[in-house]
Structure 1
Amino acid sequence: MPKHVLVPVDGSEQSQQALDYAFTEFPSATVTLLHVINPARAGYGAQAGLPSFSEEWYDEAEAAAEELFSEARADAPEGVTVETAVEVGQPARTIVEFAEEHGSDAIVIGSHGRQGISRVLLGSVAEAVVRRAPCPVTVAR
């Protein structure tokens, strides 16, 4: 039975389903909620198309992550240990690196259910995590 379960959260219904699954299936594990702030979402500045990372944008993204964590903690069953982390980077890569660096025994991740051409063009964070993760991955739909 996993002792440390990593659950990436992004506020979507699918990440909530992943969180619910982790709480139900791993009641004795420490559940770490990871929110990845994707700098690509910051927009692009006028300087040769380089990302614009304003302190204000980052503060807003971090506040949004804290709100997600607060809601998730409220949903946690009594006795479940919940830890949180915020990282900046490309989501799939950051999730895998975090799992490696922090010794996660399992990852439970939500699937956004993209199919066809949108999945090919946009890629799938869950699919990339499944392929690269150092531990078992459960994908919640």
Structure 2
Amino acid sequence: MTHRILVAVDDSPQSNAAVTYAVSRHADADITLLHVIEYTEKKTSPSRGGRGRDEGWYAAEREAAEELFDAARETAADHGVELSSDIVDGKPSSEITQYAADHDIDTIVMGMRKRSRTGKAVFGSTAQDVLLSADGPVVAIPAP
């Protein structure tokens, strides 16, 4: 049985580190990249300061996600790994855990932002939410 890994990707160095971790440590796994477009009324409604779908915001977000996937595929190719990818809309932490549940994902790999507070690492809110709500293992990778 093939191990199924979900790697949540965005445009952060932590995300790049998560991709590198997944393809270097789990080359024999079925790895899926997931990018979540946070489509909220606040971000997209012109009356609330957002740009809206009618101004091409959504298309630009999808294009940026495809560019992230292309960069991740280059990293994966260096390790002889092929990746699948998907884009969903919503709140990142909720969509990551729901996608994992819906697609029988064994492990979620994602970057984390380390924030030092009196010598302790504090996870960013998305990573923390996924760690607390996922049904399976979550590997949180800091940027190098």
Give the TM bin, normalised by the shorter chain: 0.7 to 0.9
Aligned length, in residue pairs = 136
Q: Give the partner amino acid of 2:135.
A: P
Distance 2:92 2:2 in 1: 23
- Cα RMSD of the aligned pairs, angstroms, is 2.5
Q: Secondary structure at the match of 1:67?
A: helix
Distance 2:104 2:110 in 1: 16
Q: Secondary structure at the match of 2:115?
A: coil
Between 1:24-33 and 1:36-45, the stretch displaced more is 36-45
Tell me if 1:26 matches 2:26.
yes
User: How far apart are residue 50 of structure 1 and its match?
Assistant: 8.6
Distance 2:2 2:105 in 1: 8
Question: 2:34·2:85 contact (CA, 8 Å) conserved in 1?
Answer: yes
Distance 1:25 1:92 in 2: 24
TM-score, with length taken from structure 2:
0.83
Distance 1:22 1:30 in 2: 10
Give the 3 Å change call, closer, same or farther, for CA 45–114 of structure 1 in structure 2.
farther
Distance 2:51 2:141 in 1: 33
- Counterpart of 2:136? 135
Question: 1:2·1:26 contact (CA, 8 Å) conserved in 2?
Answer: no
- Counterpart of 2:112? 111
Post-superposition CA distance 1:88-122 (Å, at most 9, x none): 00000000000000110001110012355xxx9xx
Give the 3 Å change call, closer, same or farther, for CA 50–134 of structure 1 in structure 2.
farther
Q: Secondary structure at the match of 1:10?
A: coil
Distance 1:109 1:2 in 2: 20
Q: Give the partner amino acid of 2:91.
A: Q
Q: Which runs of 5+ in 1 are unaligned?
A: none
User: How far apart are residue 78 of structure 1 and its match?
Assistant: 4.6
Q: Which runs of 5+ in 2 are unaligned?
A: none
Question: 2:43·2:49 contact (CA, 8 Å) conserved in 1?
Answer: no
Question: 1:106·1:136 contact (CA, 8 Å) conserved in 2?
Answer: yes
Distance 1:25 1:2 in 2: 14
Question: 1:110·1:126 contact (CA, 8 Å) conserved in 2?
Answer: yes
Identity, in percent, stands at 37
Greater share of strand: 2
Between 1:50-59 and 1:61-70, the stretch displaced more is 50-59
